Amino acid sequence: MNTMHSIAASLVLAMACLCASAQEAEAPLGLDDFAYSMAIEPGTASPVQTVLIPPSVYQALVRSDLGDLRVFAADGSQVSHAMRRLDKDRTVTGKSLDLKLFPLTRSAAESPDDDLQIVVKRSDNGKVVSVSTQDNAPNDPTELRVVGIVADASGLEHPIQTLRFKLAPTDKSFELPIQIDTSDDLSSWSATRRKKTLSHLKNEDKLLEQLDVSVEGITEPYLRITWGDESPPTEITGIEAVLQDARVPADVQGIELEGTADPENPRRVLFDLGSNAVPVDRVTVIVPEKNTLLGGRLDTSDLPDGAYRTLHRGTFFQLVVDGTTDRNATVKLSRTNQRYWRLVADEKGAGFGASIPSLRVEYFPDQLIFLAKSSGPYTLAYGSSRAKPSSFTTREIFADFPAGLQDDLPVSSARLGPAVVRGGEAARIPPPLPEPSKLPTVLLWAILIGGVGVLIVFVWKLSADLRKPTDTRG
């Protein structure tokens, strides 16, 4: 009986080994399994790095879900990453910047009611290098007193919400009324004067300060702060501008494609985006000839010879009136990833004319987010017929990070280097399916037949043992 059990167990083991050998383990992907790569240079010390996917990467990918994209560390290991589409407006938190200050002085003989005459000196490139109230300073500096400050706020990207004044240390208590004027050119100043008060009050060991001044969104590049007759008892050492939070619209990137006339139909122009991974959220037909108008439609397909579906019908034109060029509008679409496009002109009208229209496709870019193991270098690899999706969701990536980190990420903290050929276009082409081998089938049938034979012998031997007479001698 034990022998029969051993034979049956051996048969089961043989069948398991046969099935395991029929499924070869797939080797992990390396850089040479991808068509191209780009070096990634992290721009900050943050553990979370970001980079926008450029058009050339989209055009080399195989999968429309961007699943054949990987990030590799210097040791060749893959790095955890996620993708997110930047299709929503974002709020940029206002920065704080120190302004360049120019003190304004006047002699003791001048009346406080006299208008300040400002003298400005600029560099060759137009940058302000000095601001004063007199061409020639008096011989005795003690005859001058500081009556104000000009602050250079040029170059700021967003309006100023608050001015934060910085004072030299002092034990004196004071309240200083100030007024703030603004100018675009340092020659004419706004008539609307903002009157505020700075306070520095000490009571025994307690200090009450009000040095932040709300200015309600100043956009002018120059500010003049004056305090009239009463001078501050301590020096104003700096002014920090706190900018307003800004609502930044979602960025749109685009690719312009040259069309090819369809040899089978002169009223059709064909466009190839290069890959089904190229996203399209907007599209513009560009008519090259002046004063040309045509009606038509835009069709798309996954295959060059496949079935096309119509996405838009309309009129496309370029009209020049009194030197002003007017063109057809950009068409907004629900995101599509079809690789092949065609423009079909209506039968009425003259068609395309002597020149072939081009096509501009636009999209909200995808942001690659990856976790930096070290300072790098890192490599972005893309374009592989073997790769399967392996990215995390942004929720998974940020699960253990501080709240709000995801919203504060820069659009692109890292820089991409030039494209490097790895496996080339061959890596994007799926390998031919291997012809099924008959050997595993033959072996499987042989094992099954052998197993049935062993089972028959086992049953026959068992029944023979049961038919033997029982020895009752006792």
Annotate 234-295 with DSSP letters as a single string: S-EEEEEEEEPPEEEPPP-EEEEE--EE-TT-TTEEEEE-S-TT--EEEEEEE--STTEEEE
Q: What is the pLDDT of residue 263?
A: 92
Q: What angle do CA 106, 110, 114 make, to 5 degrees?
A: 90
| pLDDT > 70 in the chain, percent | 82
For 384, the token pair is 């592989």
Q: Is the distance from CB of 365 to CB of 406 less than 8 angstroms?
A: no
**From the centroid of its chain, how far is CA 184?**
34
Output 26 or 55, whichever has higher pLDDT.
55
41-45, 387-391, 417-421 — which one is most confidently predicted on average?
417-421
The Cα 360–Cα 259 span in angstroms is: 10
pLDDT at 142: 59
The reported pLDDT for the residue numbered 129 is 63
Give the pLDDT band (50/70/90) at residue 23.
very low
Q: What is the DSSP letter of 55?
A: H
Q: What is the mean pLDDT of residues 209-215?
A: 92
pLDDT beyond 70 at 139: no
Confidence band (pLDDT; 50, 70, 90) for 151?
very high
Q: How many helices (H) and strands (E) does the chain have?
A: 5, 31
381 pLDDT more than 70: yes
The yes-or-no verdict on residue 101 having pLDDT over 70 is yes
Kindly tell me the sign of the dihedral angle through the C-alpha atoms of 456, 461, 462, 468: positive
Answer with the residue of higher pLDDT: 348 or 277.
277
Which of 264, 263, 275 has its CA nearest to residue 341? Answer: 275
Task: Report residue 241 as tokens.
Answer: 């501008």
Helix (H) or strand (E) holding 446: helix 439-467
Mean confidence (pLDDT) of the chain: 84
Task: Please report which helix (H) or strand (E) contains residue 312, including its range.
Answer: strand 309-321
pLDDT above 70: residue 45: yes
State mean pLDDT over 415-426. 96
> Quick check: 8 pLDDT over 60?
no
Name which of 159-168, 210-219, 436-445 the model is least confident about.
Answer: 436-445
Determine the Cα–Cα distance for residues 327 and 286; give it in Å rounded to an integer. Answer: 8
Cβ atoms of residues 339 and 278 within 8 Å? yes
User: Cα dist. 248→88, 92, 387 in Å?
Assistant: 9, 7, 35
Instruction: Give the CA diameter of the chain.
Output: 148
- Note whether 340 and 304 are within 8 A (CB): yes
DSSP 347: S
Cis before 377 (ω within 30): yes
Q: Is the pLDDT reported for residue 137 higher than 90?
A: no
pTM for this prediction: 0.66
Give pLDDT, residue 19: 45
**The one-letter amino acid at 456:** I
The rounded distance, in Å, linking the Cα atoms of 278 and 366 is 11
Q: How much is the pLDDT for 2?
A: 52
Residue 404 pLDDT grade (very low, low, confident, very high; cuts 50, 70, 90): low
Q: What is the pLDDT of residue 193?
A: 63
Q: pLDDT band at 94, cuts 50/70/90?
A: confident
The DSSP letter of residue 16 is H
The whole-angstrom separation of Cα 120 and Cα 184 is 13
List the beta bridge partners of residue 270: 260, 342
Q: Within 10 A of 304 (CB to CB), how many other CB atoms are there?
A: 10
Can you give the pLDDT at residue 471? 56
Can you give the pLDDT at residue 20?
Answer: 47
Between 355 and 421, the higher pLDDT residue? 421
* Token couple for 213: 């001044």
| Least reliable range by pLDDT among 88-102, 134-148, 238-252 | 134-148
pLDDT above 90 for 192: no
Helix axes 439-467, 2-22, angle to 10 degrees: 170
- In this structure, of 50-64, 383-397, 418-432, the range with the lowest mean pLDDT score is 383-397
Q: Which pLDDT score, from 0 to 100, does residue 60 have?
A: 96
